[in-house]
Amino acid sequence: MSLDIWLIYIATVFLFMITPGPSHLLMLSNSMTHGYKRSLATAAGDLSANALQMLAAGLGLAAILVASQDAMTIIKWLGVSYLVWMGVKMWRQADTVKSGQKAAGSASLKVLWAQGFITSAANPKAVVFFAALFPQFIDPNHAFWPQFLILSICYIIIDALFLNFYGASASWLSRRLKGHAKVLIHKIGAVFLVGAAIILSMKTLRDSA
């Protein structure tokens, strides 16, 4: 892989990341309500799912997922339902949040990691995306796996940077709001979760059309 091709790939991924997806909205929500440091578990869950999806693409499993449309659709709608359930639950809890209370204790790191993993895994077509994206930048005259590894690591690093940016920004805003504003932040977090579910559902409906 030449330097020029690698730079084009980096630019392509950055452009793809500019528009927030479900995982980024989830990161915003969890950082607002649980704090930036704890929200890193959510980012880790998202990146873990991405790593598995990339591996599946590299092993040629994309064709299997494409052939199994029913299974793919079920997984997607389960992910959508999970996000809606979390959003509704967070909205109902918002009025119980008082100034000075620590919201971080409401969810364990394991739960936050699972939220990130499930949200990312709810889009199994990501495997197809990686399977379609990576070959555009892989030189067939060189070994496949070293190039594939470089592309995967770069994607994960860029995604991690965006997740951290969204998380740090949301946490910075949350720390500066007190009293009733804390309740508002909790509700905004709930809206972000439902927004992530809407994005996933729109993608699912579009893919099913």
pLDDT, average across residues 83-105: 61
pLDDT at 180 over 80: no
Q: What is the pLDDT of residues 26-42, one digit of tens each?
A: 898 888 888 889 999 99
Higher pLDDT, 160 or 35: 160
**pLDDT tops 90 at residue 64:** no
pLDDT at 156 over 70: yes
Q: Which residue has the higher pLDDT, 149 or 198?
A: 149
Lowest average pLDDT, out of 50-59, 75-84, 115-124, 161-170, goes to 75-84
Q: What is the mean pLDDT of the chain?
A: 77
* Domain boundary assignment for the chain: 23-208
Cα 27 from Cα 176, distance rounded (Å): 18
> Are 23 and 118 contacting, i.e. CB atoms less than 8 angstroms apart?
no
Task: Say if residue 46's pLDDT is above 90.
Answer: yes
Looking at the whole model, is its pTM more than 0.75? Answer: no
Q: pLDDT tens digits for 118-127?
A: 888 877 667 7
